[in-house]
Amino acid sequence: MAQDEKVLVVQRKIFESAGVFNGLAMDTQKYLDKLFAPGVPRFMPRPQAEKDPSFKQLIPYVIMTCGGKYLSYVRGKRAGETRLVAKRSLGIGGHINPTDDMPLFGNFYDTYLAAVQREVAEEVSIETKYKDKVVALLNDDSNEVGQVHLGIVHLWTLDEPKVNRKEQMITQMGFMSIPELQDVRDTMETWSQICFDGLSKMA
């Protein structure tokens, strides 16, 4: 990772004040109201954030669906997060980095949503209309990586299955049915397994 990269974080105690959980929490508004309250989100050098569990890095995790199928792909060897190489994923997203048009005051949530679109656009191109809905918060404190990250799970419902990869790290990409995904669940990264198990609650 770049030593000077900064990532969006919140203090763990802010997350915990809304209610600690492991896995998925579907009552999203309760958490979003606290995480994006004025003055709460901030940027921190990523090397520091990766080692400090008193902060949670906010990670958008965008699941795309169309016609009852879900977009899935395998992270290739060029993946920036080496711990996820060769794992199948249901989510597209990553760390939120500061940009010139990202103030940390006022309604920061709208700015966050714009950043999510930018993040996804770096990895895939979407040539259809879609609806974006935050459907869950994802927390997994069972390992060191999960202890410093908090997922914000978005469900993008696409009008047509028109998605093309832009990043070389994305391989074997396509829309898969629930039975097809069940067959490859064991090859998924942990967050994708958690989301797959909760898909029925996300509709």
* pLDDT tens by residue, 96-146: 988 755 555 556 788 888 889 989 999 999 999 999 999 999 999 998 889
Tokens coding 19: 């209610």
Q: Cα separation of 35 and 113, whole Å?
A: 13
* pLDDT tens by residue, 75-97: 876 545 555 558 899 999 889 98
What is the per-residue pLDDT for 79?
45
Contact by Cβ (8 Å): 176, 65 = no
Query: What CA dihedral angle connects 125, 50, 106 and 61, to 10 degrees?
Result: 30
Residue 49 scores a pLDDT above 90: yes
Quickly tell me which residue has 């391989």 as its tokens: 171
Query: For the residues 22-26, what does the mean pLDDT come to?
Result: 97
pLDDT-derived band at 166 (thresholds 50, 70, 90) equals very high
Q: Render 159-182 in DSSP notation, one character per residue.
A: SS--EEE-STTEEEEEEE-HHHHH
* pLDDT tens by residue, 105-115: 556 788 888 88
Quickly tell me which residue has 């696409």 as its tokens: 158
Query: For the residues 8-19, what does the mean pLDDT come to?
Result: 96
User: For the chain, what is the mean pLDDT?
Assistant: 90
Contact by Cβ (8 Å): 120, 158 = no
Q: Domains of the chain (ranges plus CATH)?
A: 6-202 (3.90.79.10)
Instruction: Collect all residues with Cβ–Cβ distance below 8 Å to 105 and sequence separation of at least 6.
Output: 38, 39
